[in-house]
Amino acid sequence: MGEKSVATLLLVVAHPDDESFGCGALIAATGLEGTEVILCCASRGELGEDATGRYSSPEALGRAREQELRESAQILGARRVEFLDLTDSGWDGEAAPGSIIAERERLDGAIERALRAHHPEVVITMDPTGSDGHRDHAAVAAATTRAFTRAVRWPASLYHWCLPHSLMSDWAREIAAQDPASVYLETDLGRPDEDVTTVLGGREVLDRVQHAMACHLTQTGPYQRISAELTERFIGYDHLVRVHPPWQGGRTETALLWPEPVSEPLPG
């Protein structure tokens, strides 16, 4: 096998809409640079809301959200979408069999297989600290980190995508200004700002990201109640924590660390 013709970025998320509401600028900007972006989604978001009121069961909603994700990914420029075929665990309560929370080994194995199949030079997943409040996001991030540690034997970087505390605090203040009874102002959301190692700018692809977000008709967007200025801070920049190679401190990175592409993993 010869060397790969293009570098690969593998993004692992929990639900449809995580790709555009969260990582849209990163996907679009990276794809425009000629990188092959592969999107792995652990579930079809069956327990999410249905803002349309059109779907009578979680299964029907999941099928609709799968299509929404595929349309969004195409707009953003992801080359491939793969579902890991677990189900949404929901925000709380007992996790059903087959769900992300209930199937740790199955989730780990599915992510390991994706890593070995695609040999990505950069892997990005969500925040294992649960800084945005959703347990599925934290579980997928932890699983991806475990799978990377076990499976990757080739030059590659691993990042956790996160929302910094300062940004989430500004969001909470804007929500509280509209609703003084809001509980969010007293909630410690967001990853500590000092953890962030990498900030990527994506303002040049904002129109594309907003177009992709609009594909998620079943979902109420998280930015509808905040100012345009704060929305741009959310979707125009991506905040990351570099996990591997370990961060040694210094100035915040403004670009991903790309090893040289290789054709196949090293043994061991």
Give the CATH number, domain containing residue 219.
3.40.50.10320
**b/e per residue 20-49 (b: at least 16 CB within 10 A):** bbbbbbbbbbbbeeebbbbbbbbbbbbbbe
**Cross-strand pairs, 13:** 41
More confident residue, 39 or 91: 39
- Count of domains for the chain: 1
Q: Is the pLDDT of residue 159 over 80?
A: yes
Q: Domain for residue 187, yes or no?
A: no
- pLDDT at res. 180: 73
Q: What is the mean pLDDT of the segment spanning 17-35? A: 94
The percentage of residues in the chain with a pLDDT greater than 70, rounded to a whole number, is 93
Answer for the pair 265, 152: CB distance below 8 angstroms, yes or no.
yes
Q: Domain for residue 72, yes or no?
A: yes
Residue ranges in 18-103 assigned as alpha helix (H): 24-32, 58-76
Q: Is the pLDDT of residue 168 over 80?
A: yes
Q: Domain for residue 95, yes or no?
A: yes
Answer for the pair 209, 221: CB distance below 8 angstroms, yes or no.
no
Average pLDDT value over all residues in the chain: 92
Model confidence over 46-69: pLDDT tens digits? 999 999 999 999 999 999 999 999
The CB-side HSE value for 82 (13 A sphere, CA atoms) comes to: 16
More confident residue, 4 or 79: 79
Q: Domain for residue 253, yes or no?
A: no
Q: Domain for residue 264, yes or no?
A: no
Q: Domain for residue 73, yes or no?
A: yes
Q: Domain for residue 266, yes or no?
A: no
Q: Domain for residue 22, yes or no?
A: yes
Model confidence over 192-238: pLDDT tens digits? 999 999 999 998 999 999 999 999 999 998 888 899 999 999 999 99
DSSP element (H, E) containing 113? helix 104-118
- pLDDT at res. 265: 47
Q: What is the mean pLDDT of the segment spanning 97-107? A: 97
- Domain span at residue 85 reads 8-164+192-243
- Where does the pLDDT of residue 249 fall: very low under 50, low under 70, confident under 90, or very high at 90 and above? very high
